[in-house]
Amino acid sequence: MAVIALAGCSGAPGVTTSALALLLSWPLEPGRRLVLAECDPDGGAVLHGLLQGTLGDRYGLRNLSVAARQGELGDAFWRQLIDLSGEGGKSPSPHDRLLLPGITDHAQAASLGAVWKALGVIFRGIAAEHGHDVLVDLGRRGAFGPSGVLAEQADAVVVVVRNTLRCLQAAEGRVRALEERVGDVSVLMINEGPYPAGEVQRVLQVPVLATLPYAPEDGRVLSDGAEQPRRFTTSPLMKAARTVSALLVQHAAVRRARLDPGGVRAAGGEVAGAR
């Protein structure tokens, strides 16, 4: 279905927390899956945040560099995924909300030079051949440098921005650079600051696609594995995430149809071992 890249900027925008809220709220029909891939070259956060180190470092992106050199990346990819279906409450079926954990040390990014492009092909194959969706968490730097190919291959690129002066100033240059690299981008706004969506849109000169509330207590459940409060799944953050998820799917479909009306990119996305 869709490959959507989430990118950040300085000013603590909360890309991974937003991505996890979307993962656990994504509208899924039976047989559909969502894969969240932590592709931040500075390192992932979920293994030692939401999951509190309970799984160690046995899973994740760092293990794929060896598989890529052996020509086994397609099959190895699925073995590195962690099922998060039970983390946010009820789920339509087991094994439908999957995480590819990121690297645990930014130094490991050096070994992934040949993996980024291959991952882009895998993500497009998952979406095109199997009807699953993929969220790519690029963190603050991942939309540039070698991992930036993942942004180029995505159906849509969304910059996570808080509506504070500090974050908006940092976001201006980042948004311009991303537009040069991938074409049009849009914004997911975290509503912490004083500026309304219309002002953020005017300053950044790109559309504000959707808004998530600033909810630090609920956010800590996702970012640090804090105990879930009662009715977490119906909290304002998770309710908004469900709305945002639907908007992202729609936005990605419209952009893909406009840029690739003949499905040329999708046709090249076949992936060995995709499920």
Cβ neighbours around 122 below 10 Å, total: 27
Residues 191-208, mean pLDDT to the nearest whole number:
97
Digit-coded pLDDT (tens) for 110-149: 889 889 999 999 999 998 888 899 999 999 999 999 999 9
Give residue 271's pLDDT band: very low, low, confident or very high (50, 70, 90): very low
Per cent of the chain over pLDDT 90 is 68
Q: Which two tokens stand for residue 48?
A: 């030692």
* Domain interval for residue 170: 3-267
How far is CA 141 from each of CA 129, 137, 223, rounded to the nearest angstrom? 29, 10, 19
Answer yes or no: is 68 within a domain: yes
How many structural domains is the chain composed of?
1
How far is CA 163 from each of CA 3, 56, 177, 240, rounded to the nearest angstrom? 25, 35, 19, 17
User: Is there a contact between 121 and 149 (Cβ–Cβ < 8 Å)?
Assistant: no
How far is CA 115 from each of CA 5, 64, 65, 66, 147, rounded to the nearest angstrom? 17, 7, 6, 10, 9
Digit-coded pLDDT (tens) for 88-102: 555 555 679 999 999
Report DSSP state, residue 32.
-
Tell me the angle at which helices 236-259 and 216-224 cross, rounded to the nearest 10 degrees.
70
Residues 16-38, mean pLDDT to the nearest whole number:
93
Answer yes or no: is 274 within a domain: no
Q: What is the pLDDT of residue 171?
A: 95
pLDDT higher than threshold 80 for residue 207? yes
Question: Strands across the sheet with 156-162, in order?
Answer: 82-83, 97-100, 34-38, 133-137, 3-7, 156-162, 186-191, 208-213
pLDDT higher than threshold 80 for residue 200? yes
Mean pLDDT, rounded, of the chain: 89
Cα–Cα–Cα angle for 10, 16, 17, rounded to 5 degrees = 105
Q: What is the pLDDT of residue 265?
A: 56
Beta strand residue intervals within the chain, DSSP E: 3-7, 34-38, 82-83, 97-100, 133-137, 156-162, 186-191, 208-213
Digit-coded pLDDT (tens) for 179-192: 999 999 999 999 99
Q: What is the pLDDT of residue 122?
A: 94
- How much is the CA Rg of the chain, to the nearest whole Å? 17
User: Is there a contact between 190 and 162 (Cβ–Cβ < 8 Å)?
Assistant: yes
Q: Which two tokens stand for residue 101?
A: 């954990």
Q: What is the pLDDT of residue 190?
A: 97
Answer yes or no: is 236 within a domain: yes
Answer yes or no: is 273 within a domain: no
Cα–Cα–Cα angle for 238, 14, 26, rounded to 5 degrees = 35
* CA–CA gap between residue 39 and residue 35 (Å, rounded): 12
User: Is there a contact between 188 and 135 (Cβ–Cβ < 8 Å)?
Assistant: no
Please state the φ and ψ torsions of residue 48, each to the nearest 5 degrees. -105, 5
Q: Which two tokens stand for residue 149?
A: 């190919």
The residue count for the chain: 275
Q: What is the pLDDT of residue 68?
A: 87
**CATH number for position 63:** 3.40.50.300
Regarding predicted confidence, which is higher, 121 or 66?
A: 121
Q: Which two tokens stand for residue 275?
A: 């499920």
Answer yes or no: is 272 within a domain: no
End-to-end CA distance of the chain: 14
Q: What is the pLDDT of residue 91?
A: 55
Regarding predicted confidence, which is higher, 260 or 30?
A: 30
pTM: 0.91
Residues 199-207, mean pLDDT to the nearest whole number:
97
pLDDT higher than threshold 90 for residue 163? yes
Answer yes or no: is 275 within a domain: no
pLDDT higher than threshold 90 for residue 268? no
Answer yes or no: is 185 within a domain: yes
